[in-house]
Amino acid sequence: MNIRIATFNVENLFSRFDFSGRAQRERRLLGGYDFENPAQFELARMVFTAVHADDIRQLTALALAETNADIVCLQEVDNEDSLGVFYDNYLKPVLHQQFGAASKGLTFEEKQAVSTRFFYDWRHVLTGNDRRGIDVALLSRREVTLRSHAGLTYDFLSDLNLDWRALTAVGEKPEKRIFRRDCLEVNVDLGTTVMTIFVCHFKSKQTGYLGGDSVAATNPIRHAEALAVRRIIEQKFGDRTAAAHWAICGDFNDFAYADGKAVACPALAPLLEGGFAVNVIDRLPADERWTHYHPNSDEHVQLDYILLSPALAAANAEAVPEVIRRGQPWRVPKLADTPRYPRVGWHRPKASDHCPMVIEIDIPD
């Protein structure tokens, strides 16, 4: 059975007001207007943010709809309310238009049958560990069962040789939870077989550690997360791990490719090396192996991943992923000749700072 799987970091899909922009608030400058009254400025800023967010979410919806995925693994979703508002007000209207074009001339019964290929009747957000409240989430055209692994602590990996000197230096303890968000286990019943997808969003390379060396500081945390994902899979499938039907999707916040060149990525080694899983972006030409642009370093990197089990990768040897880039801002250098969605700007609005990636695979019986 064929199934399309996508992953997309939708960049701060919040239902609450974003109180960012401290420097701008201090200056009370907005859109070229200087506000002397702080209350008037705050009201104007809230209106500006709401209008700006409306543009962003329309673009997010267009990018997501373009994946035409049966299952979409999402990162940076606030809660079920925010996902529901986004679906009802932004994504569903796009899907309705696609459905209308595809079902024109069909009978009511035929339209009912076709509708299952367009809409996401199952939408899930489980609360994870992020202190800001951003979680992994799921949109699905099929009913699924879910299991959260957010509660796992470092004791889950107590028999492994973790770098506790480095972990302790950044505040990690054996009793602390491993995942910064979650490893959400999604089981999809396809009738003749079950497909399992693990949705992840690993620790970011945030600044403020070890004199600003954020990569060195956070590598041990991402490495532990990768080890934990691998152990969860190996415990679930046992000696059938290589032969089972599973995939790992999400934003790993570390890159295996930069500007088309393979980069040493020790934090993700438990997943990327030794044949444990197959990184499907390897099947694209070298200069297309990226999902995110870093303007500060002027690098096009892979932060977002779809990893297939060895069995699924072998059964779909010709399957090639697609990276949707029409929602990226015009400042991204490699996309000078790439068409964009309406209203995409130089820096903003944009669909997200990440590109969605999708692959269609056949799940053997």
Q: Give me the domains of the chain, ranges plus CATH numbers.
A: 2-362 (3.60.10.10)
Query: How far, CA to CA in Å, does 137 sit from each of 113, 182, 290?
Result: 26, 10, 22
The answer to which of 17-31, 172-186, 253-267, 330-344 has the lowest mean pLDDT is: 17-31
User: Is 70's pLDDT higher than 70?
Assistant: yes
155 SS3 class:
helix
User: Is 23's pLDDT higher than 90?
Assistant: no
Give the helix ranges, DSSP H, for 34-145: 38-67, 80-86, 92-102, 108-115
* Average pLDDT of the residues of the chain: 91
- In this prediction, residue 333 carries a pLDDT of 94
User: Is 32's pLDDT higher than 70?
Assistant: no
Give the residue from 331, 359, 6, 91 showing the smallest Cα distance to 340: 331
Tokens of 121: 């009747």
* pTM of the entire predicted model: 0.92
Q: How far apart are CA 105 and CA 112, in angstroms?
A: 13
Q: Are 219 and 228 in contact (CB under 8 A)?
A: no
**DSSP class of residue 202?**
P
